[in-house]
Copies of this chain bind each other. A is one copy, B any other.
Amino acid sequence: MDFSPFANRNVLITGGLGFIGSNLAIRCVALGSRVTILTRSLGKMFNIEPVKDSARIVVVDLSRSADAIAALREAALGQDYIFHLAAQTSHIESMRDPFGDLEANCGVTLGLLEACRELASGAAIVMPGTVTQVGRVKEIPVGENLPDWPLSLYEAHKLACEKYLFIYHQSYGLKTTTLRLANVFGERQQANNPRRGILNFMLRRAMAGEPLTIYEPGDFIRDYSYVQNVLDALLLAAASPNTAGQAYVFGSGVGLKFYEMIDQLTQAVRDTVGAEAEVRRVPFPPGERSMDAGDFVADNRKFCAHTGWFPRVSFADGLRRTIRFYQDHLAEYPREN
């Protein structure tokens, strides 16, 4: 995997203080890129602590207001690589505020693409999607060949954004790529909300000496990707000549049952922190809505074939690295009240 294309190049990251965006900003600075971050607020500045003096940070609430369009145009100008990570990512919030989600996802993505069409037509543009765009699936692993029946407006709007990227490639020749990401975990993720990342949530509990609860049978399968492997994928998606106009399903390609993930997580906590996490297996609570999305494993073969990506960090090492990060910085990622 060759990351030299990023040396001395201009990189724009929207949502650059978020979980993936901040890790990407740190990586790009290390690769020698000139990094510009667009962020809605400075609330998560800790995420880019290592590069806070190296990256240019622009605070703007991206929307379709004239200010934001101007900000997107100004930001796009002269960029070589654009990672569009700004998004409203809560499916619950999308159902609560349909028009807000439409704006934050579809409106902003359209605004960025319109700016790129005019001012950065040579830039490579990469956007993450979510594997849940496909909706319920009957078989795993899941590749790119299925019709999509998203179950929330968030997912419907991310689906539309993916189509925008395709259309702007087809119509205007922009080099656009979407990666539908499976569960990503790792350093700098908010660890206070199970809906944001169940693995990090459980990991924080284990490190804080809180018990981990498995609702029986806890055998649903998920594909957990370590964030540094995901960064490799995003960078290759941007740099590879084969990815123009493509949308890929991306994950580790490995499925773990929920209790298997918890086993490995408690093992990693034991190895790293020396603490023994308590695991409680309880009957599935009546009345609790079941996680009826079924099993999921990403079929990442198309992406691997197009880019040469492979997982440089094992799942166990990813867990250990994440634990070490939170050992040092857990106070910055507090429990939700």
Contacts and interface: CB of A to CB of B under 8 A. Distances in A.
Interface of A: 64, 95, 98-99, 102, 106-107, 110-111, 114, 144-153, 156-157, 159-160, 163-164, 166-167, 170-171
In the complex, the count of this chain's copies comes to 2
Contact of A156 (B111, B152, B164): B164
Contacts of A98: 110, 114
Contacts of A167: 150-153, 156
A167 B151 CA distance: 5
A47 B171 CA distance: 35
A282 to B, nearest CB: 28
A88 to B, nearest CB: 14
19 contacts: A64-B99, A95-B171, A98-B110, A98-B114, A99-B107, A99-B110, A99-B111, A102-B106, A106-B106, A110-B153, A146-B147, A148-B148, A148-B163, A150-B167, A151-B167, A151-B171, A152-B167, A156-B160, A156-B167
Contacts of A146: 147
Given A95-B171, A153-B164, 4 more contacts: A106-B106, A152-B171, A156-B163, A159-B160
A167 B111 CA distance: 25
Contact of A159 (B107, B144, B145, B163): B163
A94 to B, nearest CB: 9
Contact of A147 (B147, B160, B170): B147
A110 B102 contact: yes
A163 B147 contact: no
A107 B114 contact: no
Contacts of A160: 106, 156-157, 159-160
User: Nearest 5 CB-CB pairs, A to B?
Assistant: A156-B163, A160-B160, A98-B110, A150-B163, A156-B160
A107 B157 CA distance: 12
Nearest to A111: B99
A237 to B, nearest CB: 18
A149 B160 CA distance: 10
Contacts of A111: 99
Contacts of A163: 148-150, 156, 159
A95 B156 CA distance: 20
A127 B192 CA distance: 41
A98 B110 CA distance: 7
Contacts of A106: 102, 106, 160
B150 A147 contact: no
A98 B163 CA distance: 13
A102 B95 contact: no
Contacts of A145: 147
Contacts of A157: 160
A149 B245 CA distance: 11
